[in-house]
Structure 1
Amino acid sequence: MFIAYAIVAAFMSVVLLASAGAKFTRPRRLVDQMATLGLPYRVLPFLGAAQVAGAGGLIIGLWRGPLGIAAAVGLTLYFIGAVAAHLRAGDYKGAPPAAVLTLVAVVLIALRAATL
């Protein structure tokens, strides 16, 4: 189970860091999407920082199990919020990727809890 956690945590961390990088560099496509969701431009750095913190927590969670679980719980809540934001705005194409990432975060909770 630990190896599965390590693999999934590494994958999720790469995805999170790529997404955070986009939030910090603010490409036009992302800015337009955030405007569609009704999120102000100024929240992008905070969303990116939350993703970097989540990725770091997952990786540190390889050595400190409870921190990995806490990071996965935080990411679960983050992505539940993302799904809700997409659905509220009527962006039904944007909700499924966020829902998949929510499920991956839940799997990470289960995998790390199983290896404590």
Structure 2
Amino acid sequence: MFAAYLVVTLLTSAVNGSAAIANFIGHDYPKSQADKLRVPRSWMRPLGTLLALGALGLLAGFAVPVLGALAAMGLGLYFLGALCAHLRVRDHQLGPWAVFFCLPVAALAVNLAYYGTR
């Protein structure tokens, strides 16, 4: 069970950390998504900060399990908000969103499964 917890958590942290970096450096993809979703570009750094904190919180969960669970929940809520933004502008291309949403949900599930059995 630890192997699944380790892999899912590290993968989720890496993906969200990469997304945070893309927001911070002003990569074209987050900018185009912000424009498509009618989100002000001034929100890119704060949203990137939330992603970065979630990624770091997942890693902190190895030492303090409740932090990992809370970080996974926070990322899940973040991506539910992103879903609302997509639906608000009638954007139904939700493949990338589904990946980003399912990863923290899986991280939460393995966190709870691993630490719940100890």
Query: What's the TM-score once normalised by structure 2's chain length?
Result: 0.89
Aligned to 1:16: 16
Query: Given residue 104 of structure 1, which amino acid in structure 2 is its aligned partner?
Result: L
Q: Cα deviations across residues 73-113 of structure 1 (Å, max 9, x unaligned)? A: 001001111122112212222x2211222122112111111
The 1:27–1:100 alpha-carbon spacing in structure 2 relative to 1, beyond 3 Å, is closer
Query: Given residue 27 of structure 1, which amino acid in structure 2 is its aligned partner?
Result: H
Query: Given residue 14 of structure 2, which amino acid in structure 1 is its aligned partner?
Result: V
Structure 2: 5+ residue runs without aligned partners? none
**CA distance, structure 1, for counterparts of residue 61 and residue 48 of structure 2:** 20
The answer on 1:98 being equivalent to 2:97 is: yes
Aligned to 1:82: 82
**CA distance, structure 2, for counterparts of residue 80 and residue 96 of structure 1:** 14
Contact 2:76 2:105 survives alignment (8 Å): yes
Moved over 2 A (4+): 27-30
Aligned to 1:37: 37
Q: Percent identity?
A: 37
**Pairwise CA distance, 1:70:** 0.3
**CA distance, structure 2, for counterparts of residue 79 and residue 24 of structure 1:** 18
Contact 1:2 1:112 survives alignment (8 Å): no
- How many residues are paired up? 115
Query: Given residue 113 of structure 1, which amino acid in structure 2 is its aligned partner?
Result: L
Aligned to 1:55: 55
Query: Given residue 98 of structure 1, which amino acid in structure 2 is its aligned partner?
Result: W
Aligned to 2:46: 46
**CA distance, structure 1, for counterparts of residue 28 and residue 102 of structure 2:** 28
Query: Given residue 109 of structure 1, which amino acid in structure 2 is its aligned partner?
Result: L
Contact 2:12 2:107 survives alignment (8 Å): no
The answer on 1:109 being equivalent to 2:108 is: yes
